[in-house]
Amino acid sequence: MAANRWRLDGQRALVTGASAGIGLAIARELLGLGADLLMVARDVDALQDARTELADEFPEQGIGTLAADVADDEDRRAILDWVEDHGDGLNILVNNAGGNLTRAAVDYTEDEWRGIFETNLFSAFELSRYAHPLLTRHATSSIVNVGSVSGITAVRSGAPYGMTKAALHQLTRNLAAEWAEDGVRVNAVAPWYIRTRRTSGPLSDADYYEEVIARTPMRRIGEPEEVAAAAAFLCLPAASYVTGECIAVDGGFLRYGF
């Protein structure tokens, strides 16, 4: 019985932005814990490559893929129709897909900042709402939102990105309180700099890299697998009394003083 608290056997998980970086690491972690996986990302080729890679590692488990843009509402509805076609509802939803353009606040066009909101925030809100009937087919289920330390403090990410992540953290708290009676736990993780393709550009600047390291007590950049481990924990039966939480995966960054 105790061992089952640390497994996800027989559960179905949907992960957005699953073809690379943190999303792919979360997908791998959930598979490793026994879940069957539904992967969504925009890039068809990258998604297929990721599926092939994971299928080689986990040949006994179901892995489905759908190329879709979570920023588009028609695509969001298509994602949930696709999930429903698999039957048995949904046990886990990971809202990981996100994007950013770093600008001075006065330099964003309206299309740019609205696009960031659509991808980072509105997609998570809508997918969670659309998934609610599927999640509540089970006695217990969970949502994990991938937020950011930029939703808690200023990190030069640009105002819209920080705004969307702060709102995502608040969405996590609100849905956790509202949906607890439905058996749906809702939590979030908030990464600091993680070694992904997206962060490779800024971190390639030696001076900037040293600034980041100087503000990180653990004196290193995080790995996608470290975010994935925290996200996966929040999905486990072992976390059955945890909801409305936002776990920073940041090497101590948010706790750093002078």
Which pLDDT does position 2 carry in this prediction?
67
pLDDT (tens digit per residue) in 48-93: 999 999 999 999 999 999 999 999 999 999 999 999 999 899 999 9
Pairwise CA distance, residues 17 & 99, whole Å:
10
| Token pair in block for residue 84 | 């429903």
- Taking residues 193-212, what's their average pLDDT? 93
Which pLDDT does position 94 carry in this prediction?
98
CB 218 within 8 A of CB 252: yes
Q: Looking at the predicted structure, is the pLDDT value of residue 131 above 80?
A: yes
Average pLDDT, the chain: 96
CB 40 within 8 A of CB 66: yes
Pairwise CA distance, residues 4 & 100, whole Å:
38
Strands of the 246-249 sheet, one edge to the other: 63-67, 36-41, 12-16, 92-95, 141-146, 184-191, 246-249
First to last CA, the chain: 46
Catalytic residue ranges: 161
Which pLDDT does position 258 carry in this prediction?
58
Write out the DSSP string of 140-203: SEEEEEE--GGGTS--SS-HHHHHHHHHHHHHHHHHHHHHGGGTEEEEEEEE-SB-STTTHHHH
Rounded to the nearest 10 degrees, the angle between the axes of helix 123-135 and helix 159-179 is 20
| Token pair in block for residue 50 | 């990721």
What angle (nearest 5°) sits at the alpha carbon of residue 145, between those of residues 113 and 167? 45
Hey, what CATH class is 3-251 in? Answer: alpha beta
Which pLDDT does position 158 carry in this prediction?
96
Q: What residues pair up with 14 in beta bridges, in sequence order? A: 38, 93
